[in-house]
């Protein structure tokens, strides 16, 4: 997030556990601690600029960045060293291109998602069935 009010809203109203303010002077240190704690390997990038590259640099080897947007309208800056020596990668995830690849099926797919979300999201909605500890991951998969 970019403002303390946004962080507060996400934590208090939506019960988000981990939310950082990218404008905080301690952002990079806070991010580093959070990455060490959670060990994330996938990053969805919406903004562009050099911040996404700095975040990817902190992530573990073989991490993957999906580039979804460019809200800042600035070039995305990535470390070639991370890509070469840490096996990190970036892929485009641009919905119009993906839909175009689906050909005649695209309108049907959009309608299916739209209908499901309108009717409560039984297929494409998010529903938490049970919360489990990370150490219980095998049980959770079952």
Could you give the strand order of the β-sheet that contains 89-92, starting from the edge strand earlier in sequence? 42-45, 64-67, 89-92
Model confidence pLDDT, tens digit, residues 32-50: 999 999 999 999 998 888 9
Q: Residue 126: is its pLDDT beyond 80?
A: no
pTM over 0.85: no
Q: Residue 26: is its pLDDT beyond 90?
A: yes
What one-character DSSP code corresponds to residue 123? T
Report whether 88 contacts 56 (CB < 8 A).
yes
Q: Residue 95: is its pLDDT beyond 80?
A: no
Measured CA to CA, the distance from residue 127 to residue 130 in angstroms comes to 9
Question: What is the pLDDT confidence band of residue 24, given thresholds at 50, 70 and 90?
Answer: very high
Question: Span 22-40, mean pLDDT?
Answer: 95
Measured CA to CA, the distance from residue 63 to residue 85 in angstroms comes to 12
> What pLDDT is attached to residue 80?
94
Residue 124 Cα distances to 54, 68, 112, angstroms: 32, 19, 9
């Amino acid at each position: 997030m970019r403002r303390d009010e946004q962080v507060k809203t996400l934590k208090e109203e939506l019960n988000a556990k981990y939310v950082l303010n990218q404008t905080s002077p301690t952002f990079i240190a806070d991010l580093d601690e959070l990455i060490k704690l959670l060990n994330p390997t996938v990053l969805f990038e919406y903004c562009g600029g050099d911040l996404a590259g700095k975040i990817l640099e902190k992530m573990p080897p073989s991490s993957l960045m999906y580039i979804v947007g460019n809200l800042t309208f600035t070039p995305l800056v990535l470390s070639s060293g991370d890509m070469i020596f840490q096996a990190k990668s970036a892929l485009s995830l641009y919905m119009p291109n993906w839909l175009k690849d689906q050909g005649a099926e695209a309108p049907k797919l959009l309608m299916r998602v739209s209908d499901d979300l309108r009717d409560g999201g039984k297929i494409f909605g998010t529903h938490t069935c049970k919360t489990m500890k990370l150490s219980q991951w095998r049980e959770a998969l079952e």
